[in-house]
Structure 1
Amino acid sequence: MRFGQQLRSSLVKDWYYYYISYDELKKSLRTDFEHTPLVASGLKKRKPWSEEDEQHFVNELEQELDKVSTFQKVKSQEIIRRINATEKEVSEAIARTEAANQDDRARANAPSEEEYLLLEEDLSDIIADVHDLAKFTQLNYTGFQKIIKKHDKTTHWHLRPVFAARLNARPFFKDDYDATVVSLSKLYDLVRTRGNPVKGDSGAGGKQQNFIRQTTKYWVHPDNITELKLIILKHLPVLVFNPSKEFERKDSAISSIYYDNPDTWELYEGRLKKTEGAEAIRLRWYGGMESDTIFVERKTHREDWTGEKSVKARFALKEKHVNAFLKGDMTTEQVFEKMRRDGKKSEKEINDLEQLAKEVQFRVIDRNLVPVCRSFYNRTAFQLPGDARVRISLDTELSMIREDNMDGRQRCGKNWRRMDIGIDWPFSQLPKEDVELFPYGVLEVKLQTAAGQEPPEWIRELVASHLVEAVPKFSKFIHGTATMFPTRIHLLPFWFPQMDVDIRKPVSHNFGLQRPDNSTDASTSAAMDDDSDDDYDDLDDDQPLNDDENVQRLRAARDALEEHEEERRSEQANGKSNVLDEEERLAHQPVTEADDYPLYDSEDEEEELAEAKRVGGWTYRRKLVASYANLWTDKLLNALKASKPTPSPTENGGTQGKLGVSEKRFKAPKGKKIHVPVRVEPKVSFAAERTFLAWLEFSIILGSIAATLLNFGDTISLVSAWAFTVVAVIALMYSMGIYLWRVDKIKNRRAVSFHDKWGPSALCLGLVVAVSISFAYRFTHGGEGDLRGRT
């Protein structure tokens, strides 16, 4: 819907008069009051925009900004006061509960269940207010941006640069709710558990002998981030590593430096293709640049058929020793010398860490790995303390920054990281080509459940809601490297062409925050499309906006993922083992017979044809003939399929009026290829080999039959032998060609259909023909053959 309609449908009724007067500001842009909008449009008569009109509009805009900013500030202070008051009440109730547990005489003064329920309702109401205030801020900020855009386009007086300074002077839209979320999470967890928050072993759930670990990643639009945090905190508390310390913004900051060889990009391609043993090496620290502890991490991918799990191992290193360690000037024995003296870890643990350090150091030096990309984000983690069975993390303000020196600019120089930036998002001091601000938040859901056990209901509702979009195996390293080096990276991740698709969608079911006393106030998260500014009449916002075709494409892909997820859950419920992860499930989706990739084109054939054209001669002619042959063959097959009678489905009256989703293919940029995850196990190669050997065995049997027929010596036997020999040779050549084709596709990890529809049928037909020839000659020339045999 248009923004004007979205604003009217999303506002909080009690705050009606504090929202931006969007319609009134639009009316102020009109200079044709003597006519109705329709008549004015037909006459094309408009008064020129004057300085008096501009001053009047600016005054109204200033009044609206002052109204919105003042209300947001007052409401924020009110929420803080309510949180402080509720915190005192919760502390008092918990103190009375603890006293009652220790002294029987104090049980009469213990808080009742109704009192805890009232506290929970108060906190739920505050959470709803925080959600509404965040939406209020987002809607009004969007309203100011849109009305300024309309003003500049309609009047041709450029107000945007000047008003941007006014917005920065009253930054109501820059309020950070992270500290509020942490405070509310702590209080809500105390009330929900009646003063007994969950505590336990950090390895809880890890001792099960038969469990399934699922890790799924989602994109979250900035409009939905605060609402998502508030929903999650009602089920899981925010994980705070140092509860005794007051929360600061830098406590949630995480920075990572990724290493690779810029000549081969072997780590990038290994992680993208998910080859067995593919590694990612990064250096990570938490907080600001003053952090002295740097974690050297190595992530190793293991294929499922190996029976091993993908692992992430790391060890700590002082910042002052990083350069010496990476250059080999500092040995691993020196790194862990202090750890051995302290004796806080066992000798075995230290030896394992030292072995890891040796392998990482050798890999960096041997492969000439250098820093190429940095990722920065603020993470909010939700988890029961000491219980890792359910862990949810939300990364916001994700940014990718270049760290290389490849284009002659010394970003990090000989240091292991650049020092001209810290955690000062959005890194406005950097040139545009050095930083990429990721447009979405990244939600990661990690579940560890027993085999056959379903995830919690609220998590299933969350991941199926309008708040998130599934992006299996999204990687910050892969995305950052592909974005920062567009001229050097030619193999792109499968989600890359979808970055310009708006992931916002309407509410699919009644899921969101609700006030305890008013269940009708549901979530107001919905897509807000840009207003059309093509004509002056568009200021009325009367016409609905058509669905974007790109949105339909993405919905089709995401719906296929959700459908595959349901199939996987069904398999788990039936007790099937060897459960695939998200990437593997994507690779096992059914593909169409004519297409190697269901959603993406990599233009391999076009590139090969262009290369052959540059070479010229017979190479180009052969490629051109092959290209036309493939084209006409595809058209002929499509025509035959279209002519085949197929049953038509019965129309369902309940689906009438719904929009159909048309799935299109994404095209890779010229000179680029899109990698689609494909899971390849050794048994796939063995299956192809077994199939070829079966064909070979059958061809040998046919050849043996032909050789046996030759021993009879008559004409009929000779003709039959020739018929069986031809069938055997054709079967042998055909099976060899199919085998080589399959081996090539498996080697290149192409998602093709390996099913052989025509081979077995053609072989049976050939055998029928050979046998028919033998019988036909025997019946038509039987006497002549017998006579020659007797003579």
Structure 2
Amino acid sequence: MKYGQTLRQRSIPAWSAYNIDYDDIKNFIKERTTPGKGKTVAVPGRSDEQAQAFENDLYLIFEEQHLRIDLFVKSKAREIQHRLEDARKRLRHLAKRKPTADQRIPISRLERYGKLENDVLKAGEEIKSLSRFVGAQRTAFRKLLKKYKKWTGSTHLEERVRREVLDDPKSFTQYDLGPMLDDYSSTLHDIRALYETRLQQATTNKSNAQPVASIARSASIAKLQTSIASGSRTDFDTTFATAPLESRGTLASYFVHPENVVELQVLLLQHVRFLSRSASTPTEISSPPTPRTLRSRDSPEQPSNHFLTAADNPDHFIQEQSAVTVDEREHGAGSALQQTKLCARWNVGEDATAVARTGPSKLSTYRLKQKHVGAFFDKSAPFLPRRESAQGTATELSDVRDVLTSNEDVAPLFSMSSNRSRFVGLSNSDNGILLASLDNAVSFEAANKPESKTGFPFALLQVRHEGTADSSLLTTLDGSHLVERVRGFSMEYHAVWHLFKPSTVAAPFWVTTLTKDIRKLPPATLKRTTSRGTPDAAVSPVAMTTGSNGSSVLGTTDGATTAVETSRHPSMGYGDSESTAPPLRAFRKKRRREYPEAAPAQQQARYWSEYDHPEDGSDAGGDAYVIYIDPNEKSSFELFFEKLGRLFSRKPRDPEPEGLPPTPPTPRDDESSSEDEESQLTARRPKSYGAIPSLSATPRPRSLAHSQRELQHLQLPQFAAVSLVASLVILVVAYLLAATGRHKLATTVDAGVVFAIVSSLIFAVVGLAALWRERGVGAVAWGVAGVTLLVDAVGSGGLLAWILA
């Protein structure tokens, strides 16, 4: 199946708008590299300039696509970081709340626990989705570059894109989601630990608490719980590999593609927790992590923190392991991961533990320093206990090392290193336990032969289930597209067979799987609804137990925290963004991008100018962003002064004859001519009210129109008449004010009279100007205006002389 057809499903359907334009770029490459479709034949001895121009255009396309995706990934990562920081703030506030006086937990507080956990689980699903999105885009870039290399035979573009774009430390393809996953896991664990601590306090303080009967634990479960309680990673790894399976035990192994590791860890944290996180008390909530900036991975290899060295007879070991069946390895009572006679394990910052099989079901253990592991496996020199700084007794040392020294055929076989994460089930009890280990960046080499170092192509997930523990994780993993279950897999057997390759024994059946691409197509997105028809909301993985009055909780629950709703099965994902319905825009077909045509052989250099028009044949004519500026547009100040100037200007005469109708204006580009004609007819249509005919609709006799024009010559315009009358009125008021003013207020009265004189003259001038801008004014009107102005001027002059005298 072509990758472009499944890109939307491999990525996140709700984020399909941000996917790379895979099909468009692929078609663009195909059209430019297929003979007969614009592809030219280069002349021998001369460089193919058209091919070089096409390669440059394609590089710019890859760079633009990468920039767009990179911006989305970084913004989404910052969003997730802010959500986790907000969750930690709410957690610290919740930790300060104390139980009530009767040691009961109010139901409102339980709702806060459940809501807070759901919010963090949703943030984890966002991390999972982001990892899947980045992996899909990275694969799309790789496949497109591979297509170009296949169709052109040139590797220059692939090297250039990888060097300058994809391998850039700031690129989204190099972004490490590990720190964000650590913040998510620590926050989720602190929420669950705080709830369990509160619940234990409430249960301990019950006055009517009944004694709990002790339950007999099996030997393997007891050993595993002891190793968990110790907090030592080396003890956990040793017990995980050496404790024999019980009758109801299961050992399941899964291969994980490196691109799916982050998604898988988010899935695991819905059922288990990290071993390295110790239980917190209400006052021991860890401080929020320092806000992280987007940082890149220095190298694709992760640092190793788990190491192992094994010794045995290689021929005997291979013959023995090749005869073990899948059922015996996964479910056989007494079976264990360690099948070699002697194995030493250690982790960074901890001492090593050597375990030897001294009998069919007997194990001997000895602790030693990391720096002494090499000397411990050296058969040519004695190993002195005093060099161990009292890490173990002489008897323990003798029991363990005799397996190596007393058998000549037993020798160190291989050494292995990996980056290991350890998980513990949320609902572990004395009757059942669930453990898991995830090894990433696995590599092994033959003993004392560093040149034989070989890397394991996948990450390895191993899940151990004992007793009545919740087995929903195994069911979820078996149906997940993130892992590939390999039944009966043994890392010890694989390492020894790969390093020694005996000709008498067939290769293990999983060897063919190592050469395949185990990535699977994610399931199609379906919208789950509840019985009421509403989308199913994200809930916590446990149920909430309420008291009889429905106001508080005092009993225990089956899981880590509380939840308000319990409509989901534990095997389902919580808040999975894949199961929620994507927005409608995600189903729209993306607009196909028109990429530039093939460049001509001779292309003249052209520089951008602000006077260039996109329709003049410029290179960017199709994608140019044009801003239209109306040259006739006037500002508000220009409009104000234009209106003010109209008062003192004469209106132009209408050049059209009176008998002809006005010429309709030319319709604008963005309007239709039919709409303009309709609006003009509507504007000229006279108003009619019922049965009363409109006066304007009745043709007036020519004699009546002529008499009206003659009457207009005798009348003053309204604005001019008002101005002239106002000037005379203000002048009369000024005379009255000057005649009746008091002597002691002479200065104030004189000022008022002068203001009135100026105002009267202004009104007279404005009235005369208004008369000047009117057309068709008769001599009588001009005479009245002139007399009024003369009277106003003479009166104002006389009044001013009177005041000054």
TM-score, normalised with respect to structure 1: 0.51
Q: Is the 8 A contact 1:514 1:520 kept in 2?
A: no
- Corresponding residue of 2:355: 297
Q: State the partner residue of 2:411.
A: 369
User: Deviation string for 1:133-177 (max 9, x for gaps)?
Assistant: 101110110011011101111222212222222222144233333
Q: How many residues are paired up?
A: 460
Q: Which aligned pairs between 1:431-580 and structure 2 lie closer than 5 A?
A: 434-449=452-467, 455-486=470-501, 490-506=505-521, 513=573, 515=575, 519-520=579-580
Look up the match of 1:87.
88
The answer on 1:127 being equivalent to 2:131 is no
Q: Which residue of 2 aligns with 1:621?
A: none
Distance 1:260 1:71 in 2: 53
Maintained 8 Å contact 2:59/2:161: no
Identity percentage over the alignment?
22
Aligned ranges 1:653-664 → 2 under 5 Å: none
Deviations 1:720-748 (A, max 9, x none): xxxxxxxxxxxxxxxxxxxxxxxxxxxxx
In structure 1, the residue matched to 2:77 is 76
Output one character per residue of 1:601-637: Cα deviation in whole Å (capped at 9) or x when no partner. xxxxxxxxxxxxxxxxxxxxxxxxxxxxxxxxxxxxx
Q: 1:203 to 1:401 in 2, by over 3 A?
A: farther
1:116 aligns with 2:131: no
Q: Tell me, which stretches of 5 or more residues in structure 1 are unaligned?
A: 34-39, 303-307, 341-349, 406-410, 412-430, 523-791
- Whole-Å Cα distance in 2 between the matches of residues 203 and 76 of structure 1? 48
Choose which of 423, 439, 442 in structure 2 pairs with 1:381. Answer: 423
Report the alpha carbon displacement of residue 380 of structure 1 after superposing the two structures with TM: 3.9
Contact 2:272 2:426 in 1 (8 A): yes
* Alpha-carbon offset, residue 126 of structure 1: 0.5
Query: Paired residue for 2:444?
Result: 400
- Asked if 2 retains the 8 angstrom alpha-carbon contact of 1:278 and 1:301, the reply is no
> Cα deviations across residues 180-216 of structure 1 (Å, max 9, x unaligned)?
3343233334445662169999997648898622212
Partner of 2:507, secondary structure, is: strand
1:164 aligned to which of 148, 162, 165: 162
Code of the residue aligned with 1:284 in structure 2: it is R
Equivalents in 1 of 2:308, 2:373: separation in Å? 14
Residue in structure 2 matching 1:321, options 367, 372, 375 = 372
Matched, 1:186 2:186: yes
**8 Å Cα contact 2:369-2:391 kept in structure 1:** no
Contact 2:414 2:496 in 1 (8 A): yes
The one-letter code matched in structure 1 to 2:440 is: T
Would you say the 8 A contact 2:427–2:470 is kept in 1?
no
Deviations 1:425-455 (A, max 9, x none): xxxxxx7xx33332222221111115xxx85
Closer/same/farther in 2, CA of residues 132 and 498 from structure 1, 3 Å limit? closer
Change beyond 3 A, Cα 1:314–1:105: closer
- Looking at structure 2, the residues matched to 164 and 489 of structure 1 have their Cα atoms a distance apart, in angstroms, of 44
Provide the C-alpha distance between the structure 1 equivalents of 2:38 and 2:576, rounded to a whole number of angstroms: 54
**Pairing 1:338–2:380 present:** no
What are the residue-to-residue correspondences of 1:25-174 with 2, within 5 Å? 25-31=25-31, 46-47=39-40, 50-96=51-97, 99-100=98-99, 112-158=109-155, 159-166=157-164, 167-169=166-168, 170-174=170-174
Answering whether residue 353 of structure 2 is matched by residue 354 of structure 1, we say: no
Partner amino acid, structure 1, of 2:119:
D
For 1:242 and 1:113, the matched residues in 2 are separated by 23
Question: Compared with structure 1, are the counterparts of its residues 146 and 462 closer, same or farther at alpha carbon in structure 2 (3 Å cutoff)?
Answer: same
SS at match of 1:494: coil
CA distance in 2, matches of 1:58, 1:278: 54
- Cα distance in 1 for residues equivalent to 2:111 and 2:184: 20
| Map 1:154-303 → 2, pairs under 5 A | 154-158=151-155, 159-166=157-164, 167-169=166-168, 170-192=170-192, 195-196=195-196, 206=219, 212-240=248-276, 253-260=305-312, 265-274=315-324, 279-287=340-348, 291=349, 293-298=351-356, 302=360
**Deviation of 1:25 (Å):** 2.0
SS of 2:248 mapped into structure 1: strand
Distance 1:257 1:368, change over 3 A: same
State the secondary structure of the residue aligned to 1:338: coil
Equivalent position amino acid for 2:439 in 1 = D
Structure-1 separation of matches of 2:248 and 2:484: 23
Q: Which amino acid aligns with 1:168?
A: D
| Higher relative contact order (CA closer than 8 Å, sequence separation 6+) | 2
Kept in 2, the 8 Å contact 1:252–1:379? The answer is: no
Query: For the residues of structure 1 that align with 2:247 and 2:408, how far apart are their CA atoms?
Result: 38
What's the CA shift string for 1:315-352, capped at 9, x where partnerless?
A: 22123433443346445653667247xxxxxxxxx576
Looking at structure 1, the residues matched to 574 and 339 of structure 2 have their Cα atoms a distance apart, in angstroms, of: 46
2-structure distance, mates of 1:380, 1:176: 20
2: CA distance, partners of 1:382 / 1:63:
44
Partner deviation per Cα, 1:658-679 (whole Å, 9 max, x = no partner): xxxxxxxxxxxxxxxxxxxxxx
Change (3 A) 1:13 1:516: closer
Aligned to 1:570: none
Structural RMSD (CA): 4.3
Which has the higher Rg, Structure 1 or Structure 2?
A: 2
* Structure-2-length-normalised TM-score: 0.50
Q: Deviations over 1:355-389 (max 9, x none)?
A: 532433425x6335135443434334344498671
Q: Is the 8 A contact 2:404 2:410 kept in 1?
A: no
Q: Secondary structure at the match of 1:497?
A: helix
Q: Give distance in 1, aligned partners of 2:24 and 2:32.
A: 15
Q: Is the CA contact 1:259–1:370 (under 8 Å) kept in the aligned structure 2?
A: yes
How far apart, CA to CA, are the structure 1 residues paired with 2:38 and 2:159?
29
Check conservation: 2:305, 2:417, Cα contact below 8 A: no
Rounded to whole Å, the distance in 2 between the matches of 1:76 and 1:149 is: 29
Gaps of 5+ in 2: 42-49, 201-211, 223-245, 281-285, 290-296, 326-334, 527-570, 583-805
For 1:446, the aligned partner's letter is R
Match of 1:534 in 2: none
| TM superposition shift of 1:20 | 1.9
Cα 1:243–1:286 shift into 2, 3 Å: farther
Q: Secondary structure at the match of 2:274?
A: coil
* CA distance in 2: counterparts of 1:194 and 1:116, whole angstroms: 9
* Cα distance in 2, alignment partners of residues 517 and 132 from structure 1: 7
Contact 1:239 1:383 in 2 (8 A): no
Counterpart CA distance in 1 for 2:340 and 2:422 is 26
Distance in 2, matches of 1:494 and 1:14, equals 39
